[in-house]
Amino acid sequence: MGKNALVTGAAGFIGSHLVDLLIDSGYTVIGIDNLSTGRMENLERAVAGDSFTFVKADITDPDIRSKVPSDIEYIFHLAAISSVKVSIEDPALVHHVNATGTLNVLILARELGVKRVVFSSSAAVYGDPRRLPVTEDTPVHALSPYGASKIAGEQYMHAYREAFGLETVILRYFNVFGPRQAYSAYSGVVSVFINRALANENLIVDGDGLQTRSLIYVSDVVEYTKRAAEVPEANGQVFNVGGNKDIRVVDIADRVLVTVGADCKIRHGPPRVGDVKKSIGSIKRAKSVLGYSPKVSFDKGLQWTIDWYREHM
Ligand SMILES: NC(=O)c1ccc[n+]([C@@H]2O[C@H](COP(=O)([O-])OP(=O)(O)OC[C@H]3O[C@@H](n4cnc5c(N)ncnc54)[C@H](O)[C@@H]3O)[C@@H](O)[C@H]2O)c1
């Protein structure tokens, strides 16, 4: 018998790659999404097979239990509003989806009697840490309502483990990039730069561009995420999930222009509110407990991502 998993945020960028990996690894997968930013095109491969069921539902729905089957062993909780910018514009909405929604997913997990919940948190919980690279033991300090909502979600994970004995694992993703990442003013830096370069528009770097990002390609992220459910010793732990090295935003812009072969310029705009200056994560713990190191270099991942956008624009 294969394993059964429920993935929230299944139609999103990372969620859809996780769905594909789980199916390839022999899981039967239920994907939940309200399609607010996610797209069914991301799930084309999954829906073509017979190991996947899509449920259009909202994670904040108190009646979500009636929409999913009972025999689920693992929940991968990725659904969220994953934008610092949206959280500055509408903190209450982001709290509702990311904090209350996470509590609702935990209520569901208890009702279903699942074995383990893996929560996709964010490096945004650290704010601007004093010591780099930042380890999982660094105190959290949100710079944006988005960061605060992820800290709240993490605390609910801890509380459910302590109070109800539910197995939980927290993954703090750094900057993830790759195919299927949505492109809008609210998107991640790599997606925005690539799409502007392909459209021959100047790249706008927020502030001086000396802020750094620990970029990790999406296939490495979903491998860590799957292992977080499967490795027994991961229970109760928090893991940074970032790249092997950090890159300055201005250098990301530069690499994108060179790889696309675009003839546009890099311009500087005002610094962004809630923007983290240095995001460098230590991934020692994830490497040792989850037994995996990121395999895809920034340059290779960038080329694959550009190729994908070229095909899908
Ligand atoms: N992309 C990154 O670099 C990054 C970094 C750190 C953390 N994360 C976290 O990883 C997770 C996945 O991020 P992503 O980049 O794939 O974002 P995404 O926006 O592509 O995916 C999120 C998915 O959740 C769905 N969703 C949103 N609200 C929902 C709701 N109320 N009910 C049901 N579905 C809902 C969206 O439609 C979308 O498909 C998020 O929790 C995000 O905060 C992402």
pLDDT per residue of the chain (313 residues) written in tens, 0 to 9: 579 999 999 999 999 999 999 999 999 999 999 999 999 999 999 999 999 999 999 999 999 999 999 999 999 999 999 999 899 999 999 999 999 999 999 999 999 999 999 999 999 999 988 888 999 999 999 999 999 999 999 999 999 999 999 999 999 999 999 999 998 776 789 999 999 999 999 999 999 999 999 999 999 999 999 999 999 999 999 999 999 888 999 999 999 999 999 999 999 999 887 677 887 899 999 999 999 999 999 999 999 999 999 999 8
Q: Is the C-beta atom of 200 inside 6 A of ligand 1?
A: no
Alpha-carbon distance of 209 to 220, in angstroms, equals: 26
**Looking at residue 234, what DSSP letter applies?**
G
User: Buried (b) or exposed (e) across 123-142, using 16+ Cβ within 10 A?
Assistant: bbbbbebeebbbbbebebeb
Contact 173, 121 (CB under 8 A): yes
Q: Which atom of ligand 1 is nearest to the CA of 58?
A: 32
Alpha-carbon distance of 94 to 262, in angstroms, equals: 36
Tokens of 150: 């992820």
Q: Is the C-beta atom of 175 inside 6 A of ligand 1?
A: yes
Q: Which atom of ligand 1 is nearest to the CA of 11?
A: 39
First-last CA distance in the chain: 40
- Res 174: pLDDT: 94
- Give distance in angstroms: CA of 298 to centre of ligand 1: 22
Q: Is the C-beta atom of 120 inside 6 A of ligand 1?
A: yes
Question: Which residue intervals of the chain are DSSP H helices?
Answer: 13-24, 44-48, 84-89, 91-95, 101-112, 145-164, 189-198, 218-230, 249-260, 284-290, 298-312
Q: Is the C-beta atom of 6 inside 6 A of ligand 1?
A: no
- Res 52: pLDDT: 98
Tokens of 64: 């979500």
- Res 1: pLDDT: 58
* Residue of 280, 219, 222, 218 lying closest to 249 (CA atoms): 280
The rounded radius of gyration (Å) of the Cα atoms in the chain is 19
- Res 39: pLDDT: 97
- Give distance in angstroms: CA of 96 to centre of ligand 1: 14
> How many CA within 13 A on the CB side of residue 204?
9
pTM for the model stands at: 0.97
Domains and CATH numbers, the chain: 4-179+218-242+280-295 (3.40.50.720)
Q: Is the C-beta atom of 79 inside 6 A of ligand 1?
A: yes
Q: How many CB atoms lie within 10 A of CB 93?
A: 14
Q: Which amino acid is at 306?
A: I
Q: How many CB atoms lie within 10 A of CB 181?
A: 22
- Catalytic machinery residues: 146
